[in-house]
Structures are given as C-alpha cells and as structure tokens.
Amino acid sequence: MLEDLKPHIAELRDRLIKIIAALLVAFMVCFYFWEPIQNWISAPLRDALNENGVVMAYKMGEKFFTAAMVSFFTALLVSLPIVFYQIWAFVSPGLYSSEKRFVLPFTIGATFMFLIGSAFAYYLVFPYGFTYLVNFGENDVVSQISIGEYLGFFIKLIFGFGLSFELPVVCFFLAKIGLIDDSSLKGFFRYAVVIIFILAAILTPPDVISQFFMALPMIFLYGVSILIVKLVNPAQEAKKEEKS
C-alpha cells in the first residue's frame, strides 16, 4: 500500500515545490514595494481613525515583521492562479479526460471569485466595520492601533471573504464530477445557514451589521450554487440522455 502511495507523494511534493517557488519569487518582488502596499492595506483603518487615533508599532522589529507579512500576503494573492492550477493538476489524474479540460476555467474562476470576495470585504465591509470599532465608546478616548495586530485582523477577514466566495466554483466542479447534486444542497440549506452565521460571527467585527455583510452574500452564493449544480448535475444529464 505504501508503494502505491509513493507516486502520489512524489507528485504532491513536486506541486508544493512549484507553489513555494512561485511564492518566493512573488515575495521578493512584493517586499521591494512593501511600503505602498502597506499604505493601501491600512487605508481603511486610517480613514476610520481620522484625528481620533494613530497607527503605531509597539514591539521591537514590528515594522520589519509587518513589512514581511504584508509582502507574503500580497505574494499569496499574486500567486493564486499558480496555486489553484497546481491544486487542480494534482487532482486531475484521478479524473476522466472530459473533466481534465476544466483546469483553465477552474484556475480563472477560483482566482476571480477570491478577488471578488476580497474586494467586497475591502470596499464595502471594512469602511463600516473599522469605523464602528475605532469610534465605539467615549469620544475623548484616543485609539492607538498596533499595525501588526491590524494586519492580522485584515488578513483574516480578506481570506474569510475570499474563500467564502469560492463556494459556487467549488460546487460547480464537485457537481461536474458527480460528488454533489442540487437535492443534497437543498436538503442541507437550513444547516448551511446556521454554519454561515457562525462563521460570520467568528470572522467579522463584533457588530450585527458586519456579520450580516458576510452572512447574506454567502447565503446568496449558496442559492446560486444550487442553481449552478442543478444545471450541470451529471445525474440529471444522464437522465436526460436516457429519456432521449
């Protein structure tokens, strides 16, 4: 059994090496431009602060490690097409030849939806969420925000929204290879809503509006996924062929 797994382990190693190499190259480029990237990332926080606070670095080396984290985060975003391609390339040997041709649509679709989710968070959720958190409470209290803590919070939200927007893409390809159908998604809907609201409560700032900003699009995307799966479901296509 171990002998049978060796080719797959070797394949996984090669794919991981390619992903790491892409990340390293992207990281070096992004580290050169870390300052404007960090300014873009911290813009929602600075807008929320106005004159009521300041962004600071408290710990020794926090500026350097924050720059490194900013560069790695940006490198990961830039490398997303390569990451998604390598994931599909690793999975594709176990698929039929008709299913392998979806490598390019999967790579483009997964990257596009992740970026859409990230943009939704940055331009719609962050302005309200950060303003609420920074200006909550007494007006005479000055906020001193650690750039390192903010960046960790920022990355968690970006990846949370980006991954949640992958749902239609993932469901499309799972339906294409016959692992799910629309009836199973419909039956799981009530549980999915509960899970979505739990995830939204964990990932977003502690206010109801921000949680709804994340939960409602995810519920909508779940509904879109049901429609997509119904259109591409292999079982339904087979039934149509049998009737014809």
Question: Strand, helix or coil at 138?
Answer: coil
Nearest to 114 by CA among 196, 5, 221, 191: 221
DSSP bridge partners of 146: 56
The pLDDT tens digits of the residues spanning 141-155 come to 677 788 888 888 888
Domain ranges of the chain: 1-164, 166-244
Residue 203 has phi, psi (to 5 degrees) of: -90, -25
Q: What is the CA radius of gyration of the chain?
A: 21
Q: In the chain, pLDDT over 90 holds for what percent of residues?
A: 27
| Longest CA–CA separation in the chain, Å | 74
For 106, the token pair is 């999967």
The pLDDT tens digits of the residues spanning 168-218 come to 998 888 887 778 888 888 888 999 999 988 888 887 766 677 788 888 989
The pLDDT tens digits of the residues spanning 13-66 come to 888 999 999 999 999 999 999 999 999 998 888 888 876 677 777 777 888 889
Q: At how many degrees (to 10) do helices 62-78 and 2-32 cross?
A: 120
